Amino acid sequence: MIQTDLFVLICTFIAGLALMINVFLKSLLFIYGSILIVLCLLVYATIKSEIKDQLKELWILGLLSLILYPPLEYLFVGRLDMVTYLTNEPTILLSPVYPMLFWLFGVVLFGYIYIRSIHIFKSVAIAVAAVSFFSAINGLVAENLFNYMGFYRNNVSSIMIVKTPVYLPLGYMVTFAFMPLYLKFRWISGLLLFGIICLCWLMFSLIL
């Protein structure tokens, strides 16, 4: 599994580096090229991995979550004025394609963090804590970088972490804490996954 770990680490590094570089480039083409390379590397890692069956389950979960992504984002995020997209490109309802690709990468990545944490620590509780913390930090960093590169703007709330409302990382944290259930009921939870995080964002935005 060391080879798979290395591929996932490389993919995470490429995605993070691409976002940081694009703060200065501000290029949609660069972002699309970067995330497509990352996803292709993840597909290759899945094919070559010793745990390919588990990784395939993560892809199923992520791909299913994309089916209802545009209508759910339109209903929750767009109608509640949580985000304003600033790029001029074709969209599916409200949603540009690049956030959907990064969401797919995130689902697979967070699921892999959970699976590897189970393997290393032999504890569901520790694995849940690990994926919750990692997803929150990852979401916070990515949201801020997208704001800085001018691709979209998260609308101001009462508590902000740089340019990101605090309810966004909290939503990631709570949503991906249920990763054991998502993997157990992946066909159903895949369709509901983006809706779950939208509900978490809504709940926290009303409280904070």
Residue found by looking up tokens 């970067």 in the block? 34
User: 117-162 pLDDT, tens per residue?
Assistant: 999 999 999 999 999 999 999 999 999 999 999 999 988 888 999 9
Instruction: Please tell me the predicted confidence (pLDDT) of residue 105.
Output: 98
Q: Which residues pair with 152 in a beta bridge?
A: 85
Single-letter residue type at 101: L
pLDDT at 2 over 90: no
Of residues 2 and 128, more confidence is placed in: 128
Question: What percent of the chain shows pLDDT beyond 90?
Answer: 86
> Largest Cα–Cα distance of the chain, in whole Å?
47
Measured distance CA(82)–CA(199) in Å, rounded: 12
Measured distance CA(86)–CA(152) in Å, rounded: 5
User: 54-63 pLDDT, tens per residue?
Assistant: 999 999 999 9
Mean pLDDT of all residues belonging to the chain = 94
User: 10-47 pLDDT, tens per residue?
Assistant: 999 999 999 999 999 999 999 999 999 999 999 999 99
Instruction: Please tell me the predicted confidence (pLDDT) of residue 155.
Output: 84
Distances (CA, A) of 161 to 79, 147, 177: 23, 12, 21
Question: What percent of the chain shows pLDDT beyond 70?
Answer: 100
Measured distance CA(64)–CA(208) in Å, rounded: 30
The domain limits of the chain are: 54-207
3-state secondary structure of 153: strand
Residue among 188, 187, 184, 161 nearest 172 (CA): 161
pLDDT at 82 over 90: no
Instruction: Please tell me the predicted confidence (pLDDT) of residue 76.
Output: 85
Q: Is the pTM of this model over 0.85?
A: yes
Instruction: Please tell me the predicted confidence (pLDDT) of residue 119.
Output: 94
